[in-house]
Amino acid sequence: MASYFDRLKSDAADEWWAYIAHEFVRGLGEGTLPKDCFRHYLVQDYLFLIQFARAYALAAFKAPDVASMRHAATALTAILDVETKLHIRLAERWGKPAAELEAAREARATIAYTRFVLDTGMRGDLLDLMTALAPCTIGYAEIGVTLAASSGGKSPGNPYREWIAEYAGDAYQSLAAEARSELERLAAAALTEARYPHLLATFRQATRLEADFWQMGLDLAM
């Protein structure tokens, strides 16, 4: 029997492929993504992470037990102490000082995605929230490994090699594996067949919003 996450990914295959194989992602792997697009993405992804930190704080509140509280706390710490620092470091190298990141205005795609996740968590339980978070948390790990194994991703001349290495690295891969384990644990306790279509709709929408986020970076959209 397929795991809960694999079932979601299979049933949302079109949306998932459009996300993980988006033109923006291919540009990262090939090193051909225009630099202005990456700068724009970095700023918006920093703002995105602030809202996702709030989502994990909400996950701790929604947690049905201490194990889920610990998972939420670990993820929250990773966002604030690892991912945001990576973005600050990369942004400074790409000509965006840290002060500009928090002062930046959120793009429409950033608002649409993050508020969808927060609204899902506010209205539902922890399984709803973790299902909405899964495309980002688990998807980035899949993208990182795929790009790191590609010829372009391995190239020393790829300007996005550090970004790829971060998401392909052991630390992030471990966080994604823990997120997947938590998702499966919650599903084992709370998933029913009657509930599955609603959760699948949540997963599909979150995955579409991920693809929209890449497109925002590609279009330099606000």
**Catalytic annotation, residues:** 136, 210
Cα–Cα distance between 7 and 23 in angstroms, integer? 25
Task: Name which of 119, 126, 103, 78 is nearest 206 in CA terms.
Answer: 119
Phi/psi for 149 (5° steps) reads -85, -10
What is the Cα–Cα distance from 189 to 197, expressed in whole angstroms? 17
Please tell me the distance from the alpha carbon of residue 62 to that of residue 72, in angstroms, as a whole number.
10
- On whether the CB atoms of residues 26 and 211 are closer than 8 A, the answer is no
